[in-house]
Amino acid sequence: MTQYLLFDDNLEAREVASTPQTAETAVPSTDTHAAAPMGAVDEDKATRMARVREPALVCTRCDLARTRNHVVFGEGNVESPLVLVGEGPGENEDATGRPFVGRAGVMLDEVLKENGMNRGHVYICNVIKCRAANFENGRLVNRPPRVEEAAACRTWLDAQLEIVRPLVIVCIGGPAASALIHPNFAITRERGIWFSNTPHAPWVMATLHPAYVLRLSGPGYEAARQRLVEDIGSARRKVIEARKQRPPTLF
């Protein structure tokens, strides 16, 4: 019952349930703002998300439908003011149907925890919902989504963001930033910068993808990981700031 305090000024880490809220587990609330207590989710948002999820799980809008094991729709707190958007599912996500459950996901969980958060505080999804991979030397190797795959999948991402209507979006990695901030996004130059001119949320920023961080070693790894921690902390503070500025009638 402490989640609504998380995005207040008190930045101390605190115990919260980490179980992602779903239409099934959500307790209905009449509060349409994101500042509802943990365990109380806007029924309408949860119901709407469940309604979008259903056709997404059987989507055949692109050829990735032929090779996927699971559609990785997204999960978390549909009432959260903070949405994290990654590029797309990898092997572990394809196997489980859940976003960010491989090594990159473990790092993301750690980084959230270092900022006093867990998956119950945020909504997590990807630009594409099915694994993009090529068959090479007898095994599937992840590849970036093709433009037409991302375009075909866009309808689901747009619907998710329209339902959650977050105050803040963090793009996890350059491809998500290219989809949500601007098409020529350069993660080296533009990470950590706040953009307010996008249609999806008042504030959008991109950070390093944990999979990129995991490919580094030594001081480079430490510095990149620290940047990721700081960017997620900055996102939490941006929610607090935006809440103070936002006219109560918006969102």
Q: Under the rule (CB under 6 A), what is the footprint of ligand URA?
A: 72, 86-90, 93, 99-100, 104-105, 126, 172, 211
Task: State residue 203 phi and psi, 5-degree precision.
Answer: -135, 130
Minimum separation from the CB atom of position 172 to ligand URA (A):
6
Which residue lies nearer to ligand URA by CB, 102 or 120? 102
Which residue lies nearer to ligand URA by CB, 90 or 116? 90
Spatial separation of the C-alpha atoms in residues 197 and 169, rounded to whole Å:
12
Minimum separation from the CB atom of position 99 to ligand URA (A):
4
- Residue 123's DSSP bridge partners are 76, 83
Which residue lies nearer to ligand URA by CB, 206 or 242? 206
Which residue lies nearer to ligand URA by CB, 105 or 202? 105
- Compute CA distances 115 → 14, 78, 121, 184, whole Å: 10, 20, 11, 30
Q: Which of 201, 212, 211 is nearest to 235 (CA)?
A: 201
Minimum separation from the CB atom of position 250 to ligand URA (A):
30
- Compute CA distances 58 → 25, 73, 129, 146, 240, whole Å: 22, 11, 11, 20, 37
Q: How many CB atoms lie within 10 A of CB 219?
A: 8
Q: Which residue is nearest to ligand URA (CB)?
A: 86
Minimum separation from the CB atom of position 213 to ligand URA (A):
12
